[in-house]
Structures are given as structure tokens and as C-alpha cells.
């Protein structure tokens, strides 16, 4: 019987494990098995340079930061296993988590399975990931490779507008590529983008290919006009996908409360879900900020809520 099982090994999961370990709960962390879809350590593992995580004035690579978080949690007694939760039974306590032929019972669960950025599905997106391809302007936009250089943002919703406006602070030119002749974004956000002197909207266009080479990374994109089929190349050093994120919550469909886009719903000011003893932290319940530091902060919240809930069960 485990006191607490943490599902997910990114910043939220590692921080939750650290706090739970320091509370002598001896947490078990299911960090996931390495695959194309699952990266133990979460989205941070795809980030080569992290310059906005406090405590690292010279920056740190995403994988290194993940490793340091994991090692710190292990130091205080957390246990990590490279297993992916395949099913959960939250109908009665203790809760049960299944992975293949293995299963664990837990008094409490902290869910930190994160969210996955959506891309167009181009092979070239994978090829140039972290070498000009990104899904987070706030994370990467200020990096040297994008400063005073042209970049491309793909998308037409509010998230794409926010990304474009943020990138305009650093890039020489921001090209917003949208497949329609008007944005899906709110009018005020769309108007701001259209009126911005450093932003050009490429209407009725899609990215057919991300262009580049092994030495320089991204050097441009090939655009296709959806009306005429004509293609043209556009020079840029950055390609930002802003077509949304998919929270990794399929496992909890019909069990835990989710919003219309699939994010887990937690009670205001806490990490508590609709099932007592089950907590959620990080990008799996945060569709607004999606930063390593906010994920870590909510991991702290989840662990503290979990400790207090377990203590209350014993009284």
C-alpha cells in the first residue's frame, strides 16, 4: 500500500514528490515510459534552453533541470519507476493504478500527466524541434536565435495572437500564418495583431514544410495558398506552433471532472479534484500559464493538500 502515487515526472510531479517525500510519505512516482508520445520529464525534456526558471542565472537545459528535480526528490525518499499508468480505479479507497501486469494501491493520488503541444504533423517539425521549432513563445521567444530575426506563428486563435504579440517584442518581423481569411480569435486580439507594425498576417495559407539544415536549424517555411495551391518560401529562424495543447487526461475521462477541452478541474485555490484524495497539478489542469515554474508551484500545492488530507483521514 502506497501513501501517495504521483502520476507524471515533470516539474509538477517532481515537486509534488519532493514535498511528499519531505513529509515522510515515501511517494512512488510513475514517470512514464519513453516513447514518441511520452517523455519522462514532460515537455521540459524538449526544451534545450531554459532561461526563465529562477535560480539559474546562466540558464539550464530542460533535460538537466528535469534531472536535478528528480535527483532532489529521490534524495528525500521519492521512488521513480519508468511505468505509464494504463488504467485507474478511483471508485473506492484505496485507489488502484494499473500498468501492464503491475498494479499499485494508494491512499492518495497526485495527477501530473501534463499536456502535449499540438503540431501540424510535419516530419520537418520533428526534425527541427528545439532548433527553431517551438510551441511556447513565452519559454523560447527571447532566446538569441530569435532576436531581431523573422519568425512564423501558426494559428488563428487567441493563443496565436498572444504568441505573436509577445514575439514582436524580440523578432524583427512576425508572420502569422492562418488558413482562413479571418481569425478565430476574439476581435480585440485579432485587431491588435493586424494593427501591429511588426506583424504580417499570411491569410489563407498553411505551412507545407519547415525548411532548414543541420547547421543552422530552421531557415524558413514553405507556404501554400489554400485557394490557389501556389507555394512560396518565407525566410525565418523560428517556427512557433500555436494551435493548442491537448491535456493528457484521456485516462480520467468519465471519472474526474474536466472542462470542455479536457483539462482537469480543480477546486478554486487548491489542487483538489472532485474525488477526495485525488489531486491534480501542472499543465494537466492549467490551460493558461503552462510554464515550468507554475507547474512546480502547483505540484507544491498538490503535495501540501495531499498531506493535509491524509492527516485528516487519520484523526
CB atoms within 10 A of CB 188: 9
Per-residue pLDDT, averaged over 102-119, amounts to 95
pLDDT of residue 42: 72
Are 230 and 267 part of one and the same domain? no
Number of domains in the chain: 2
**Cα 36 vs. chain centroid, distance in angstroms?**
15
Which of 140, 283, 286, 305 is labelled catalytic? 140
Judged against a pLDDT cut of 90, whether residue 126 lies above it is answered with yes
Higher-pLDDT residue of 52, 76: 76
Which of 14, 66, 139, 236 is labelled catalytic? 139
Are 32 and 45 part of one and the same domain? yes
Per-residue pLDDT, averaged over 184-191, amounts to 94
Are 288 and 233 part of one and the same domain? no
pLDDT of residue 195: 97
Answer with the one of 219, 241, 263 that is the final residue of a domain.
241
Phi, psi dihedral angles at 116 (to 5 degrees) = -115, 130
Pairwise CA distance, residues 178 & 173, whole Å: 16
Higher-pLDDT residue of 42, 156: 156
Closest CA to 39 of 123, 109, 146, 130: 130
**Cα 172 vs. chain centroid, distance in angstroms?**
27
Q: Which of 45-49, 154-158, 192-196, 199-203 has the lowest mean pLDDT?
A: 45-49
Cα distances (angstroms) measured from residue 113 to each of 48, 240, 294: 21, 23, 14
Rg of the chain over all Cα atoms, to the nearest angstrom: 21
Which of 14, 66, 136, 306 is labelled catalytic? 136
Are 176 and 218 part of one and the same domain? yes
Are 86 and 29 part of one and the same domain? yes
Answer with the one of 223, 241, 259 that is the final residue of a domain.
241
Per-residue pLDDT, averaged over 150-167, amounts to 94
Judged against a pLDDT cut of 90, whether residue 297 lies above it is answered with yes
Distance in Å from the first CA to the final CA of the chain: 19
Longest dimension (CA), the chain: 71
Are 132 and 234 part of one and the same domain? yes
Query: Which tens digit of pLDDT belongs to each residue from 247-276?
Result: 999 999 999 999 999 999 999 999 999 999
Task: Say whether 14 is catalytic.
Answer: no
Judged against a pLDDT cut of 70, whether residue 24 lies above it is answered with yes
pLDDT of residue 43: 73
The 3-state DSSP class for residue 162 equals helix
Pairwise CA distance, residues 194 & 164, whole Å: 10
Band (288; pLDDT cuts 50, 70, 90):
confident
Band (36; pLDDT cuts 50, 70, 90):
very low
Give the rounded percent of residues in the chain with a pLDDT score beyond 70. 96
Are 232 and 123 part of one and the same domain? yes
Per-residue pLDDT, averaged over 151-155, amounts to 97
Per-residue pLDDT, averaged over 291-297, amounts to 94
Higher-pLDDT residue of 211, 138: 211
Asked whether 200 and 236 are in contact (CB, 8 A), the reply is: no
pLDDT of residue 39: 59
Are 135 and 175 part of one and the same domain? yes
Task: Say whether 305 is catalytic.
Answer: no
Asked whether 76 and 64 are in contact (CB, 8 A), the reply is: no
Are 164 and 200 part of one and the same domain? yes
Answer with the one of 212, 241, 270 that is the final residue of a domain.
241
pLDDT of residue 35: 53
Task: Say whether 136 is catalytic.
Answer: yes
Find the helix packing angle between 62-75 and 11-22, rounded to 10°: 20
Per-residue pLDDT, averaged over 179-184, amounts to 95
Q: Tell me the CATH number at 155.
A: 3.50.50.60
Cα distances (angstroms) measured from residue 268 to each of 33, 53, 217, 272, 288: 32, 25, 43, 9, 15
Are 67 and 30 part of one and the same domain? yes
Which residues have CB under 8 Å from 175's CB, separation 6+? 150, 151, 152, 153, 199, 200, 201, 202, 234, 236
**Range of 208's domain?**
119-241
Pairwise CA distance, residues 131 & 93, whole Å: 46
Sign of CA dihedral 177, 180, 185, 186: positive
Are 164 and 72 part of one and the same domain? no
Are 211 and 300 part of one and the same domain? no
pLDDT of residue 46: 66
Amino acid at each position: 500500500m502506497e501513501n501517495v502515487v504521483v502520476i507524471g515526472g515533470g516539474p509538477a510531479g517532481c515537486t509534488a514528490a519532493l514535498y511528499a517525500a519531505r513529509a515522510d510519505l515515501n511517494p512512488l512516482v510513475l514517470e512514464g515510459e519513453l516513447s514518441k508520445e511520452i517523455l519522462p520529464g514532460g515537455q521540459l525534456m524538449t526544451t534545450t534552453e531554459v532561461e526563465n526558471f529562477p535560480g539559474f542565472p546562466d540558464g539550464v537545459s530542460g533535460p538537466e533541470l528535469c534531472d536535478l528535480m528528480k535527483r532532489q526528490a529521490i534524495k528525500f525518499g521519492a521512488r521513480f519507476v519508468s511505468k505509464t499508468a494504463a488504467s485507474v480505479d478511483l471508485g473506492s479507497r484505496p485507489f488502484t493504478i494499473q500498468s501492464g501486469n503491475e498494479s499499485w494501491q494508494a491512499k492518495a493520488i497526485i495527477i501530473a500527466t501534463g499536456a502535449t503541444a499540438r503540431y501540424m504533423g510535419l516530419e520537418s517539425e520533428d526534425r527541427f524541434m528545439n532548433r527553431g521549432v517551438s510551441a511556447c513563445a513565452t519559454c523560447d521567444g527571447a532566446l538569441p536565435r530569435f532576436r531581431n530575426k523573422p519568425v512564423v506563428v501558426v494559428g488563428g486563435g487567441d493563443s496565436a495572437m498572444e504568441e505573436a504579440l509577445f514575439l514582436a517584442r524580440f523578432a524583427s518581423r512576425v508572420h502569422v500564418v492562418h488558413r482562413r481569411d479571418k481569425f478565430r480569435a476574439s476581435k480585440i486580439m485579432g485587431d491588435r495583431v493586424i494593427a501591429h507594425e511588426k506583424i504580417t498576417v499570411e491569410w489563407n495559407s498553411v505551412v507545407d514544410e519547415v525548411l532548414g539544415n543541420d547547421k543552422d536549424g530552421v531557415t524558413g517555411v514553405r507556404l501554400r495558398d489554400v485557394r490557389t495551391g501556389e507555394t512560396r518560401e518565407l525566410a525565418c529562424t523560428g517556427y512557433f506552433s500555436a494551435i493548442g495543447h491537448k491535456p493528457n487526461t484521456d485516462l480520467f475521462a468519465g471519472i474526474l471532472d474536466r472542462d470542455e477541452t479536457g483539462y482537469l478541474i480543480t477546486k478554486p485555490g487548491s489542487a483538489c479534484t472532485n474525488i477526495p484524495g485525488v489531486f491534480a497539478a501542472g499543465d494537466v489542469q492549467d490551460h493558461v500559464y503552462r510554464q515550468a515554474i507554475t507547474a512546480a508551484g502547483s505540484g507544491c500545492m498538490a503535495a501540501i493538500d495531499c498531506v493535509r488530507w491524509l492527516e485528516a483521514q487519520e484523526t
